[in-house]
Each structure stands twice: as structure tokens, then as C-alpha cells.
Amino acid sequence: MDVVQKIETLIEPALTDMGYELVRVRVTGSQRKTLQIMADRLDGAAMSVDDCSDISHAVSAILDVEDPISDAYVLEVSSPGIDRPLTKLPHFARYAGFEAKVEMQHMIDGRKRFSGRLIGVEGDIVRLEHDGEAVDLPFGEIRNAKLILTDELIAAAQSGALDGAVEGGMMDVEEASG
């Protein structure tokens, strides 16, 4: 299990109990590491800076005890934002009808990158309309995916149709050492 998976395993139950969905964990940097935690509210309300602070305190307490990162690091907690990453299979169903970019681990039909309107999910297959045709993308092969910022997405977010994607916060909360 790599460090990201270990951190996800450690913090996801606590975040769920607090009313948040863990969207993504990333560790970046080699000399000065940054641990990025991206979360969203389970109730669909917009994330606030206070939410980020609450998550930061909970995550810090867990990581201080478990110490999965041996070096010093900066903890960043943020909301996914309007052009959010799509990291879990239900995300692709939830945002069906909106434009997305998807990068695959391996080529499908001679390409690794696709963009177009999300059609939805069938089993573990993400369906995307790309260049006027439906393309089936195995979820397990998706390397990166995110919504594309469009007028339609902005309008949906402003009307409250998206799960709190307009407001959000990001904080460089604290420096921790392992």
C-alpha cells in the first residue's frame, strides 16, 4: 500500500463520520512535501473555510498518531470546486450531462485522452460522448478526470443544482513533521 492509499484508509472513516466525502488525497513535492486533502460535504451544502479547518484538525490528529509521512510536510485542505476532479464512479453518474476531460492509463481506440459530455455509468464503465459518438471507458483504467468549466456548469452551480460546487475554500493549514 502506497502512502496515499494508507492516508486515505486512515482518514476516510473519520471524514465520513464528520459528514464529508473524501474526494482526493495527493502528496506532492520531494524536498518540501505537500499533503493535499480534497473533501466535499455529504449533505450537498457548499464547503466553507470552517469546514476545511475542521477537516484539517481531524486529519492532523490522525496523522500525528499514525505518522504515514516521515518527512515534514504542509497540509492543504480544500473543496473540489466547480471544475472538480472526478475520482469515484458515482461522480461520473452525478455529473452526467456536463463536459469532462478524461485521461486513460492505456489507449482506447488509439487514444488516451477524451473530452466530451458525460453520458453516465453502466456497471464499472463510464460513458462519454466524444466527437459525437459514445465511448465506453473502464473506470479502473481512468488515470485522471475532471469537469470542464463551461457556462452550463457555472449556471448549474449558481442555481444550486450542483452539490455545493460554487463556494469553497482552501487553506494551507499547518506544517507537520513526521
Q: Decide if pLDDT at 82 tops 50.
A: yes
Which option is the CATH number for 89-148: 2.40.10.10, 3.40.50.10860, 2.30.30.180, 3.10.20.740?
Answer: 2.30.30.180
The domain over range 3-82+166-176 is classified in CATH as 3.30.300.70 = yes
Q: Decide if pLDDT at 178 tops 60.
A: no
| Percent of the chain's residues with pLDDT above 70 | 90
What mean pLDDT is predicted for residues 51-61? 96
> Domain limits of the chain?
3-82+166-176, 89-148
**Residue pLDDT, tens place only, 126-142:** 999 999 999 999 999 99
> What is the pLDDT at residue 163?
52
* 102, 148 contact by CB (below 8 A): no
Same fold, 3-82+166-176 and 89-148: no
Average pLDDT, the chain: 88
> What is the pLDDT at residue 30?
83
**Residue pLDDT, tens place only, 3-38:** 999 999 999 999 999 999 999 999 999 888 999 999
HSE-CB at 71 with a 13 A cutoff on CA atoms is: 12
What mean pLDDT is predicted for residues 105-125? 95
109 vs 123, higher pLDDT: 123
> What is the pLDDT at residue 70?
83
